[in-house]
Amino acid sequence: MKIFVAVARALIIQEYEELFSRFNLKIRTVGVPILGLYSLLKTEKEKDLLLINIEEDSLCLTAIIDSEIALYRMKPILSLGQDERSEDRRVENIVKEVENTVNFVEDKEKRKIQSFWVRLGLLEEERILSRLQERSSLPVTGIESRMTAKIGLREKKILSPLIGQIR
């Protein structure tokens, strides 16, 4: 049996509840974005893949082996500055974390990752996707391509974890 647990401080949840209540919205479910993204891939033919969720301040890597979650990693991303050199280092750190995760999974699980599925919660960070494509021989696909909803690309990128929860 595998158990996946997400923990959050009650004060953090309360902050979100108060924010949304200002707009007359009530929170009914609190979830981990990567699980919503994972449900978008349930029919994916590739059984050994790495699901990558990149946000403004965090990187989440989930290895799916034989169609099951085998590894979950969440790492903070530190923005060292706003200049181009620090952004290049930030992108390079993300790419390095992906490579390290692939190597770890392949060593531990004795299975080879077949593809990367990426969600960029940052609309301005297409460089990350292109850098992953440049550095990897594996297919790198944006998660939004799995969504059939008739909404714009920007909305698909931002809303994909939520759409995955209700799918």
pLDDT for position 63:
93
Q: How many domains does the chain have?
A: 1
Residue 44 falls inside a structural domain = yes
> Strand, helix or coil at 100?
helix
With a cut of 70, list the residues of the chain below it in pLDDT: 43-46, 78-84, 123-125, 165-167
Q: Which domain holds residue 98?
A: 31-166
Total-model pTM? 0.79
In a domain, 54, yes or no: yes
Domain harbouring 159, CATH code: 3.30.420.40
Enter the tokens of residue 71: 């590894």
Q: Residue 95's closest CA among 114, 116, 80?
A: 116
The contacts of residue 133 (CB under 8 Å, 6+ apart) are 140
88 assigned to some structural domain: yes
Determine the Cα–Cα distance for residues 118 and 115; give it in Å rounded to an integer: 10
| Residue/partner pairs of 74-83 with CB below 8 Å, 24 or more apart | none
Q: Could you tell me if residue 93 is inside a domain?
A: yes
DSSP-derived 3-state class of residue 49? strand
Residue 49 covered by a domain: yes
Residue type, position 145, single letter: S
**Structural domain includes residue 78:** yes
